[in-house]
């Protein structure tokens, strides 16, 4: 067949390969994609490029025990390029995967032409293009390691064939290029190194034309003392020498990168790896049969074959051993045929096909070293090349005989069935719920699948349904620590705290017991230690059990000194215990083990904020942004700190950071609020009003935004517009003293509703009987009502509470002077009712933490900065002299010609408006209040414990929704802690139990 015809056949193969995976472009990130892409910091442009070459496929430093030792930097680079172009849009990642698969199919077509006829090549290539076993490698984004490695694997083989064309020339240029392709293939995935072994077979049996029988006879003669020399060229010897040197050099390099340590896997990842002899050997050999069966009959595909999917073969009488015997018999039969057949071409095809099928499979076969899975369909991508060559060659033999029509019909049926299966299988990878549910349809013995379906439901907020799947996981495998952790976390979401604690304690009881002389660290999976984090996070909700939670964190740290999640969450507890210096030491210790963790720097920034050291806090927040420019909490709180510095150029940086957050999440009310504060600093009232209104629209009970918006409107002489927002504020926050004062002022001055104003002031005094502003303004109401006697008694009480407030004494003198000029019969004889002061603190239904004293009235917070946040409430409103002066025209029903009240009050008057602190003071208090909310410490929790806490997202992801309370932000922390989410990922940190953080299990994700 000519070149044009071959080109047409290759085009058909390429089109088929692209078309069958076209629907995969709509799939999202699922399973291991979360860890390798969404949670992998090495993909982010701000991460130094060199990190890609020091970390494993999942972003974990290769020297760490937690690393899976999967060194694939070139594959990670392609993910990084994807991220650079379109961030986390899955379509781009899937599109490149499909393109790589098409490229592999074309190179495979070219490779088959070296051994097969055109028709057999076309059949083999078309079968390879549409085989359903490839869906995990092509549709799963992390499968790119397979396709990319296979691309260079085939390129290396093709280039090697070029250097062998002349028996008189070594072909150094092509040989060097071939070896560079081998090196590149190995940097995409470890199995790429097997290309050199395939090249050795090609050199011996194709180039040197050595027959398999010749090798057999040579060995037989050597053992018999005879000497037989094979025809061999010196150029071939040189090439084989290069192949040998390159292979050993790459192996040594790989071992050096790996640190000469094999990855640590648990019995849940690969049960046979910890089984005794002969169970381990019987099971491993049976797994080879299962893999071959998947190539022949890919009907029951599953994304996860770990745990109890394939029960161990415990004795020789197990009927599954027959499948092992049949597999080895088939392979041996093909080898014998290759040796004995007189047809040299048949011998070459069989040998090369078996080499391409068996050699790439050996690294994942468990025969030389244990791997972190039982079966992984994606690792069959390269071995299927040899399998498809055998099928194509067998078809060509049958079609050349009497069965041409039958074989053609069978071929069409096979290709149609495979194409349909592949196309439908792609839809299983649409999202995490669909892929794990599809696994349960064919595999109900794998607890991890039940766990991951539960995680998918949990991420959708369907906690009761998730709990059912987690409980089923426990039933399937009762000793699965991760399943018990998941049950506990879900109970926590459902507010069933007693049940959650019981589940965590059960998981804790399943941890391996220490053994004398044996390192405990080597015997426990890092993810299983999350039981301590999640249990501690749970009991820490009870303020009386903080010390108990601290003990659990210390216990986890004692088991693994590098367990950074425990350090992070312990720091949170120490902050709550007011032991900030210890918290600082804990975070600094965590940095010793993970110096690139932005969450730790963020939490150190929070610690320094707690200590009143704003400059150090800002430095650590900036450091967090250096490692993660997208760190939301660091962006927000550093912007607030920059704003506090009061310099125009720093406000510009603050605005840029806030706008960056807004682009990430336009529904974040805190960002809108702080942009409003920045606008106030720039004297842009219109913009400030717009930002405040946006914040209130997003969160109707946003305390700080409601008050500042109302204050802004009141200052702009729009009190009637301010009143609804103040009413909304006190409806959600009836203990907001400043809002009540301002609302009462508007009721008196603008709405003329003295009853409503009096209710405001009496409410203030119920909240804080010593509040001079509220008491003084209540006295004003009495003056407005003409009840001078009551007003005098009220002012006397105010003067007694605040003897140093001159304006109170002056106003008292004015009222007494008026009373003295009234006839005795007109004087008010009522007694001031202060019964509302008698209510005990325990009976009041309000939060005393929000009540501020007016002892520092009129002072500003600028001098003290963020370190004095707790006292900022007293700076919210200034003296209310002007409130009194505003009403001087209404104090009496008739003017006195001798001692006009106006004459006295006019000296007290500072403005025609009710006195309020300057907006910069108001903003300071609100900002302080808000930063207390936002600078919550990130703690780590089960990722999901991690996410659990937060309405937003940070360490695991939890942030307090009450902007007026100082809370420890667990939002990012959760992500780490949520490693418990084991393999379900989500992405995140938190002190809660969410996923998030969910540190995902790599190739063998935990349940």
First and final CA of the chain: distance in angstroms?
A: 53
What span, in angstroms and rounded, lies between the C-alpha atoms of 1004 and 989? 21
Mark residue 861 as left, alpha or beta (left: phi above 0; alpha: psi -120 to 50; beta: remaining): alpha
Structure tokens at 22: 């076209």
Residue ranges in the chain modelled with pLDDT below 50: 838-1007
What span, in angstroms and rounded, lies between the C-alpha atoms of 327 and 121? 25
Q: What is the 3-state secondary structure of 730-773? A: HHHCCCCHHHHHHHHHHHHHHHCCHHHHHHHHHHHHHHCCCCHH
Query: Is the separation of the CB atoms in 991 and 942 below 8 Å?
Result: no
Q: What is the 3-state secondary structure of 938-959? A: CCCCCHHHHHHCCCCCCEECCC
What span, in angstroms and rounded, lies between the C-alpha atoms of 93 and 497? 41
List Cα–Cα distances, 806 to 40, 285, 809, 859, in angstroms.
64, 94, 5, 16
Q: Pick from 619, 884, 652, 654: which is nearest to 778 by CA?
A: 884
- Burial code (b: 16+ CB inside 10 Å, e: under 16) for 610-636 equals bebbbebbbebbebbbebbbebbbbbb
CA atoms within 13 A on the CB side of 653: 16
The structure tokens 């899937």 sit at 94
Quote the pLDDT of residue 225: 61
Q: How much is the pTM?
A: 0.74
Query: Is the separation of the CB atoms in 131 and 384 below 8 Å?
Result: yes
776 phi/psi in degrees, rounded to 5 = -60, -45
The 3-state DSSP class for residue 365 equals: coil
964 phi/psi in degrees, rounded to 5 = -95, -5
Query: Is the separation of the CB atoms in 627 and 598 below 8 Å?
Result: yes
Distance of CA 457 to the CA centre of its chain: 17
Structure tokens at 816: 């007494």
Other Cβ atoms less than 10 A from the Cβ of 850: the count is: 19
What span, in angstroms and rounded, lies between the C-alpha atoms of 495 and 484? 17
Mark residue 225 as left, alpha or beta (left: phi above 0; alpha: psi -120 to 50; beta: remaining): left
Quote the pLDDT of residue 213: 77
The 8-class DSSP code of residue 956 comes to E
Residue-wise pLDDT for 986-995, tens only, equals 222 233 333 2
What span, in angstroms and rounded, lies between the C-alpha atoms of 238 and 626? 51
Looking at the DSSP bridge assignments, the partners of residue 369 are: none
Query: Is the separation of the CB atoms in 943 and 998 below 8 Å?
Result: yes
The 3-state DSSP class for residue 989 equals: strand
Query: Is the separation of the CB atoms in 40 and 76 below 8 Å?
Result: yes
Residue-wise pLDDT for 106-139, tens only, equals 999 999 999 999 999 999 999 999 999 999 999 9
Helices (H), 768-891: 772-784, 788-801, 806-820, 881-886
Q: Pick from 848, 853, 673: which is nearest to 767 by CA?
A: 848
Got the DSSP string for 47-85?
S-TTHHHHB-TTS-BTTSTT------HHHHHHHHHHHHH
The 3-state DSSP class for residue 39 equals: coil
Other Cβ atoms less than 10 A from the Cβ of 800: the count is: 9
Counting every residue written for the chain, the total comes to 1007
The structure tokens 């028996």 sit at 167
Looking at the DSSP bridge assignments, the partners of residue 955 are: 971, 989
Q: Give the largest Cα separation in the chain, rounded.
A: 145
Query: Is the separation of the CB atoms in 975 and 470 below 8 Å?
Result: no
Structure tokens at 178: 């071939």
What span, in angstroms and rounded, lies between the C-alpha atoms of 517 and 506? 26
Residues 192, 196, 197, CA angle at the centre, nearest 5°? 105
What span, in angstroms and rounded, lies between the C-alpha atoms of 673 and 746? 24
What span, in angstroms and rounded, lies between the C-alpha atoms of 552 and 316? 46
Other Cβ atoms less than 10 A from the Cβ of 86: the count is: 12
462 phi/psi in degrees, rounded to 5 = -95, 70
| Cis peptide bond prior to 278, omega within 30° of 0 | yes
Distance of CA 57 to the CA centre of its chain: 16
CA atoms within 13 A on the CB side of 182: 29
What span, in angstroms and rounded, lies between the C-alpha atoms of 529 and 689? 49
What span, in angstroms and rounded, lies between the C-alpha atoms of 772 and 141? 66
Structure tokens at 273: 């790896």
Q: Pick from 922, 921, 954, 920: which is nearest to 935 by CA?
A: 954
Quote the pLDDT of residue 382: 95
Quote the pLDDT of residue 520: 52
CA atoms within 13 A on the CB side of 150: 33
List Cα–Cα distances, 464 to 233, 452, 461, 495, 978, in angstroms.
72, 15, 9, 12, 19
Structure tokens at 120: 């057999």
Structure tokens at 127: 């079968």
Q: Pick from 322, 300, 313, 302: which is nearest to 271 by CA?
A: 313
Which DSSP helix (H) or strand (E) runs through 498?
Answer: helix 497-509
Q: Pick from 342, 393, 435: which is nearest to 28 by CA?
A: 435
* E-assigned strand segments in 926-1002: 955-956, 971, 993-994
């Amino acid at each position: 067949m000519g070149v044009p015809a071959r080109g047409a056949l290759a085009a058909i193969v390429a089109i088929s390969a692209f078309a069958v995976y076209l629907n995969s472009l709509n799939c999202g990130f699922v399973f291991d994609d979360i860890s390798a892409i969404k949670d992998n910091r090495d993909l982010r442009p701000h991460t130094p490029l060199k990190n890609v070459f020091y970390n494993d496929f999942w972003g974990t430093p290769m020297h760490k025990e937690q690393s899976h030792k999967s060194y694939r930097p070139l594959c990670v680079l392609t993910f990084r390029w994807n991220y650079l172009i379109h961030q986390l849009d899955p379509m781009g990642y899937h599109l490149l995967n499909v393109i790589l698969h098409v490229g592999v199919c074309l190179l495979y077509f070219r490779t088959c032409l070296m051994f097969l006829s055109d028709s057999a090549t076309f059949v083999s290539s078309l079968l390879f293009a549409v085989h359903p076993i490839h869906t995990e490698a092509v549709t799963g984004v992390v499968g790119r390691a397979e396709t990319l490695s296979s691309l260079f694997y085939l390129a290396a083989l093709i280039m090697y064939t070029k250097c062998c064309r002349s028996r008189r020339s070594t072909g150094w240029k092509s040989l060097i290029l071939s070896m560079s392709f081998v090196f590149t293939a190995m940097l995409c995935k470890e199995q790429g190194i097997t290309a050199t072994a395939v090249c050795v077979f090609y050199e011996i049996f194709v180039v040197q034309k050595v027959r398999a029988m010749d090798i057999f006879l040579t060995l037989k003669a050597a053992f018999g003392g005879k000497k037989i020399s094979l025809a061999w060229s010196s150029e071939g010897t040189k090439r084989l020498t290069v192949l040998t040197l390159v292979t050993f050099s790459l192996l040594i390099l790989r071992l050096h990168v790996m640190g000469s340590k094999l990855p640590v896997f648990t019995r849940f990842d690969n049960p046979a790896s910890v089984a005794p002899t002969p169970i381990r050997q019987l099971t491993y050999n049976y797994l080879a049969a299962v893999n071959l069966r998947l190539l022949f009959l890919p009907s029951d595909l599953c994304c996860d074959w770990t745990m109890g999917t394939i029960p161990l073969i415990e004795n020789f009488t197990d009927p599954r051993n027959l499948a092992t015997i049949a597999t080895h018999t088939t392979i041996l039969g093909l080898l014998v045929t290759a040796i004995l057949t007189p047809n040299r071409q048949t011998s070459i095809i069989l040998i090369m096909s078996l080499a391409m099928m068996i050699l790439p499979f050996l690294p994942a076969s468990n025969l030389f070293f244990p791997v972190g899975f039982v079966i992984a369909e994606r690792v069959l991508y390269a071995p299927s090349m040899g399998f498809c060559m055998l099928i194509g060659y067998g078809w060509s033999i049958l079609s050349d005989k009497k069965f041409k029509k039958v074989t053609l019909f069978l071929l069409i049926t096979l290709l149609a069935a495979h194409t349909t299966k592949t196309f439908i299988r792609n839809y299983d990878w649409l999202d995490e719920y669909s892929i794990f549910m599809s696994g349960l349809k064919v595999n109900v013995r794998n607890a991890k699948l039940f766990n991951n379906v539960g995680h998918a439901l949990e991420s959708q907020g369907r906690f009761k349904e998730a709990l059912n799947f987690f409980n089923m996981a426990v039933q399937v495998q009762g000793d699965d620590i991760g399943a018990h952790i998941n049950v506990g976390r879900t109970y926590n979401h459902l507010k069933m705290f007693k049940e959650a604690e019981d589940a965590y304690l059960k998981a804790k009881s399943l941890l391996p017991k220490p053994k004398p002389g044996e390192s405990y660290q080597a015997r426990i999976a890092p993810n299983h230690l999350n039981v301590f984090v999640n249990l501690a996070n749970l009991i820490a909700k009870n303020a009386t059990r903080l010390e108990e939670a601290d003990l659990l964190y210390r216990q986890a740290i004692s088991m693994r000194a590098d367990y950074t999640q425990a350090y992070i969450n312990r720091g949170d507890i120490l902050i709550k215990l007011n032991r900030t210096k210890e918290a600082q030491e804990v975070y600094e210790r965590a940095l010793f083990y993970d110096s690139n963790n932005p969450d730790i720097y963020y939490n150190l920034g929070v610690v320094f904020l707690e200590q009143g050291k704003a400059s150090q806090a800002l430095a650590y927040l900036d450091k967090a942004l250096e490692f993660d420019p997208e760190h939301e909490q660091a962006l927000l709180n550093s912007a607030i700190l920059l704003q506090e510095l009061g310099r125009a150029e720093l406000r510009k940086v603050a605005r840029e950071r806030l706008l960056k957050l807004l682009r990430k999440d336009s529904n974040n009310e805190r960002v809108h609020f702080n942009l409003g504060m920045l606008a106030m600093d720039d004297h842009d009232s219109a913009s400030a009003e717009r930002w405040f209104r946006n914040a209130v629209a997003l969160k109707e009970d946003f305390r700080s935004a409601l008050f500042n918006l109302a204050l802004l409107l009141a200052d702009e002489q729009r009190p009637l517009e301010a009143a609804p927002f103040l009413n909304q504020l006190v409806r959600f926050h009836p203990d907001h003293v400043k809002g009540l004062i301002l609302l009462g002022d508007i009721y008196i001055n603008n709405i003329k509703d003295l009853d409503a104003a009096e209710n405001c002031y009496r409410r203030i005094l119920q909240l804080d009987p010593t509040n001079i502003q509220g008491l003084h303004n209540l006295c004003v109401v009495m003056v407005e009502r003409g009840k001078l006697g009551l007003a005098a008694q009220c002012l006397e009480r105010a003067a007694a509470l605040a003897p140093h407030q001159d304006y109170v004494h002056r106003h008292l003198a004015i009222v007494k002077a008026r009373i003295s000029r009234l006839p005795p019969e007109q004087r008010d004889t009522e007694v001031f009712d202060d019964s509302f002061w008698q209510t005990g603190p325990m009976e009041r239904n309000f939060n005393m933490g929000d009540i501020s004293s007016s002892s520092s009235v009129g002072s500003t917070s600028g001098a003290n900065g963020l370190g004095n946040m707790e006292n900022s409430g007293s700076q919210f409103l200034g003296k209310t002299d002007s409130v009194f002066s505003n009403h001087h025209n209404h104090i009496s029903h008739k003017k006195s010609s001798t001692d006009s009240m106006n004459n006295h009050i006019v000296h007290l008057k500072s403005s025609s408006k009710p006195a309020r602190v300057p907006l910069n003071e108001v903003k300071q208090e609100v900002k302080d209040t808000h930063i207390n909310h936002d600078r919550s410490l990130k703690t780590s929790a089960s990722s999901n414990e991690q996410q659990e806490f937060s309405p937003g997202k940070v360490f695991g992801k939890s942030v307090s929704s009450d902007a007026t309370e100082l809370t420890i932000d667990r939002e990012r922390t959760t992500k780490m802690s949520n490693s418990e989410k084991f393999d379900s990922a989500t992405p995140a940190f938190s002190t809660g139990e969410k996923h998030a953080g969910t540190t995902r299990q790599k190739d063998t994700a935990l349940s």
